[in-house]
């Protein structure tokens, strides 16, 4: 029995199966993890049995039928869904083969070995691995980069996978070009590298899931803290209003005394004091609790820094995730407070309004620093460089991009304005 050929056929089929699993995930209300595990085991057994015969009549048609049947079964007999997933898989396999194979030939310059049947078998296997690795790296890396300060993980995993594929390519090229006769060693080495690649990709996915869960937990903590502060502010405000109401008669007696004395200066001074006390306890209420909590937290910072904070909110339901909402509003207002807080007459004008199916968010503030824009990043030439608007713009841009929205920035020597439009509908 030709064990080496069976090895090639089985490992090839195995990586095509991995590609199928990655490209056509199906989860609906009839989805069953236990059922899928059972079907996966049967499909892998079929892959092994299919690899044993040297030639099967209508083998490609049989293989396509089994692939479609597998998709059809795990989709709980949804024919249209199965057709779409099957076409997606076939299109990717065909396209990737037509691109990866010639690119690999150019990269390794192995044209002189294409008449070597053993090397071509290894080459086909390597191309199957690359066709599986590419979409994994693209999807996982895109998800990882979207998380704050996690780009280093993406770089390290991409390098490890790329090196593994590089070793696969040049190991077979070097050994076979030197007429290496112990052909049984290559499958062992290849199998070990396959295991390394599988472990790296599996580890990549699991670490990514852990990081995403950690990010969600951080958002929940931030949301809890903001809402807790919001309700504490509401409680303090209600207590202050009760105190003001309790002393209202006394205030009227004093005001009436100043009026009888025609002492306008004292009258105005006392009225201003009452007004200031009422302003200090003013709270912002919107139709969305988290938005109210964020705005109240930032309004308190503005009062502490003597920044005039004007807001206008006109919207109904917020359909944006808490993560993106905290990222956008938090960074937007923090940057504005940092800049306006350096002025004696700092001001921030904020609006959040629903227009049709879009949410328009605008934040305008004054500043005194020279702004330098470089490759989409904003820097200050004054003290503490790097903490100006550019600090959070990238995070805002990432969230806006993920929401399929738009970000527009306008500025001059005195004012800085950010306008954001994002879809907001169920």
Strand, helix or coil at 377?
Answer: strand
Count of positions (residues) in the chain: 426
Report d(CA 293, CA 224) in Å as an integer: 10
Collapsing DSSP states into helix, strand and coil, what is residue 351? strand
Q: Which helix (H) or strand (E) holds 180?
A: none
- 355 DSSP β-pair partners: 358
Nearest to 129 by CA among 46, 195, 194: 194
CB 73 within 8 A of CB 26: no
* Backbone angle region of 147, left / alpha / beta, with phi > 0 → left and psi within -120 to 50 → alpha: beta
> How many whole angstroms separate alpha carbon 57 and alpha carbon 59?
5
In this structure, the number of other CB atoms found within 10 A of the CB of residue 152 comes to: 9
Distance (Å, whole) CA 297 – CA 334: 10
Whether 14 and 125 have beta carbons less than 8 Å apart is answered as no
Cβ pair 114, 153 in contact under 8 A: no
- Beta bridge mates, 308: 347
pLDDT of residue 416: 92
Q: How far is Cα 62 from Cα 58, in angstroms, rounded to an integer? A: 6
Strands 358-366 and 415-423, by their bridges, are antiparallel
Domains of the chain are 3-208 (no CATH), 284-426 (3.30.565.10)
Q: For residues 218 and 322, what is the distance between their CA atoms, to the nearest angstrom?
A: 11
Pairing state between β 347-355 and 308-314: parallel
Local confidence pLDDT in tens for the 426 residues of the chain: 578 788 888 888 888 888 888 887 655 555 556 777 788 888 889 888 888 887 787 888 888 899 999 888 887 778 888 898 899 899 998 998 899 889 888 887 878 778 878 778 888 888 888 888 888 878 777 777 666 656 666 677 677 777 776 776 666 666 666 555 555 666 777 777 777 777 777 766 777 777 666 666 666 666 666 666 655 665 565 555 556 566 666 777 788 888 888 888 888 888 877 776 655 556 788 888 888 888 888 888 888 899 999 999 999 889 888 878 888 898 899 889 989 999 989 999 999 999 989 999 999 999 987 777 766 566 654 455 444 444 578 778 888 988 999 999 998 888 999 999 999 986
Q: For residues 202 and 289, give the distance between their C-alpha atoms in angstroms, rounded to a whole number.
A: 39
């Amino acid at each position: 029995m030709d064990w080496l050929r069976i090895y090639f056929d089985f490992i090839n089929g195995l990586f095509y199966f991995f590609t199928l699993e990655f490209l056509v995930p199906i989860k609906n209300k009839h989805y069953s993890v236990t059922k899928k595990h059972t079907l996966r085991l049967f499909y892998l057994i079929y892959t092994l049995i299919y690899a044993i015969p040297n030639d099967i009549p209508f083998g490609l048609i049989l293989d396509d039928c089994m692939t479609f049947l597998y998709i059809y079964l795990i989709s709980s007999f949804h024919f249209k869904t199965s057709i779409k997933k099957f076409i997606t898989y076939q299109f990717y396999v065909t396209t990737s083969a037509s691109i990866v194979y010639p690119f690999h030939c150019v990269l390794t310059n192995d044209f002189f070995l294409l008449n070597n049947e053993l090397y071509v078998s290894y080459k086909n296997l390597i191309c199957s691995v690359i066709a599986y690795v590419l979409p994994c790296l693209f999807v996982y890396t895109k998800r990882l980069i979207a998380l704050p300060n996690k780009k280093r993980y993406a770089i390290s995993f991409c390098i490890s996978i790329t090196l593994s594929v590089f070793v696969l390519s040049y190991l077979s090229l070097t050994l076979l070009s030197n007429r290496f006769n112990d052909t049984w060693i290559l499958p062992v080495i290849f199998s070990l590298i396959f295991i390394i690649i599988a472990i790296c990709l599996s580890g990549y996915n699991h670490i990514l899931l852990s990081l995403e869960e950690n990010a969600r937990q951080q958002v929940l903590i931030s949301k809890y803290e903001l809402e807790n502060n919001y309700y504490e502010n509401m409680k303090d405000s209600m207590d202050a209003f009760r105190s003001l109401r309790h002393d209202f008669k006394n205030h009227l007696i004093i005001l009436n005394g100043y009026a009888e004395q025609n002492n306008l200066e004292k009258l105005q001074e006392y009225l201003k004091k009452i007004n200031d006390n009422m302003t200090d306890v003013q709270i912002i209420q919107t139709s969305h609790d988290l938005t109210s909590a964020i705005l109240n937290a930032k309004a308190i910072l503005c009062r502490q820094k003597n920044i005039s904070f004007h807001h206008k909110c006109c919207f109904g339901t917020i359909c944006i995730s808490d993560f993106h909402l905290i990222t956008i509003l938090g960074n937007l207002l923090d940057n504005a407070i940092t800049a306006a807080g350096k002025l004696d007459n700092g001001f921030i004008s904020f609006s959040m309004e629903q227009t049709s199916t879009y949410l328009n968010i605008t934040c305008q503030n004054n500043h005194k620093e020279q702004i330098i824009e470089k490759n989409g990043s904003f820097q200050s030439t004054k003290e503490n460089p790097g903490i100006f608007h550019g600090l959070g713009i990238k995070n805002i841009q990432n969230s806006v991009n993920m929401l399929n929205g738009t970000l527009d920035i306008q500025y001059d020597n005195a004012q800085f304005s950010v306008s954001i439009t994002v879809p907001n509908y169920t």
